[in-house]
Amino acid sequence: MDILTTPPEVRVWVSERRRRAQRIGLVPTMGCLHAGHLSLVRLARQRAEAVVLSLFVNPIQFGPGDNLTGYPRDLQGDQRLCREAGVAALFLPSAEAMYPAGHSTFVEEVWFSRGLCGDRRPGHFKGVTTIVAKLFNLVQPDVAVFGQKDAQQARVIQQMTRDLEFPVEIVLGQTVREADGLAMSSRNKLLNAAERRQALCLSRALDTAARRLAAGERETAALIAAMRQEISGAPLARVDYAEIVDNETFEPVASINRTALALLAVHVGSTRLIDNALLTPQGHGD
């Protein structure tokens, strides 16, 4: 596995792979890798001969309250996991390499970035689209894989890719969960034992909504109330948002008549977790 740390190194590496007519896959991450990331690497390897995993805790997607310095890091573990997973190159740039002095260009998606995490974390998605655009231009991947766990981010990146005509196929990997249902996240490492137990309230709330829908409840006000009720049973948890939106437009819906998406952001102790699940009404095949 090659370790690349600067944009020029990436360019040389990429042009060599291109010369050999290899398809390139990209898995952008912020490191502290877990089974969810590894499932994305597998998806990339199914579609490309050479997979680049980028590991960069992108400062411009963190706001003042977002605890950039507290973001979990495990570089040694990450390198080992990447080797085992068959990653061809690990791209580990410094913040200075990605944002040299005078950096003054940003990419912004303005529709799917509204609401949900976009409202709670101003500038977050602008930071995401900017770094992803830079990675796309550096790595020039045929395919890039993102996790459905970050559902809004995935939708924003799909839209950016389409709008800016990036010649990149976007593939989304399903959320990977712990045995008890907790969505895998690097942030889970920040939870203490009590918080870890109560973090289950997110996946339980999503299950509750799905069960209530299956039982015939299509009104999202009732489904959201049921999710909030479930979360209120966890004293260490505090809802940031609990919403149900149309899965295509990402606009809130009053009643579920086609596939919708339930999204949660919940503070558990001092750690903010997100999770989501598709809600498909019975007899609706989409």
Catalytic residue positions, numbered: 37
> Residue 115: CB partners within 8 Å, gap ≥ 6?
243, 245, 250, 252
Name which of residues 4 to 23 contact a second copy (CB under 8 A).
7, 11
8 Å CB contact between 48 and 17: no
Please pick, from the candidates 3, 12, 75, 110, the single residue that binds a second copy as defined by CB under 8 A: 110
Cβ of residue 186: shortest distance to a second copy, in angstroms? 25
Using the minimum distance from each CB to a second copy, give the nearer residue, 165 or 286: 165
Q: Which is nearer to a second copy, 11 or 197 (CB)?
A: 11
Q: Judge whether 85 and 38 are in contact, CB under 8 Å.
A: yes
Report the candidate in 256, 257, 230, 228 with the shortest Cα–Cα distance to residue 244.
Answer: 256
Find the binding residues for a second copy in span 136-155 (CB under 8 A): 137-138, 140
Q: Which of 112, 121, 144, 212 binds a second copy (CB under 8 A)?
A: 112
Q: Which of residues 248-277 bind a second copy (CB under 8 A)?
A: none
The helix/strand/coil state of 194 is helix
Applying CB under 8 A, the span of 53-61, 64-72, 100-108, 210-218 interacting with a second copy comes to 100-108
Size of site (CB under 8 A) for a second copy: 27
Q: Which of 40, 160, 191, 262 binds a second copy (CB under 8 A)?
A: 160
Strand partners, 243: 263
CB of residue 141 vs a second copy: minimum separation in angstroms?
13
Beta strands 271-279; 260-268: pairing state: antiparallel
State yes or no: residue 105 binds a second copy (CB under 8 A). Answer: yes
Q: What is the rounded CA–CA span in Å between residue 178 and residue 199?
A: 11
DSSP one-letter code for 261: E
Cα–Cα distance, 278 to 245 (Å, whole number) = 10
Residues in touch with a second copy (CB under 8 A):
7, 11, 102-112, 129-130, 133-134, 137-138, 140, 159-160, 163-167
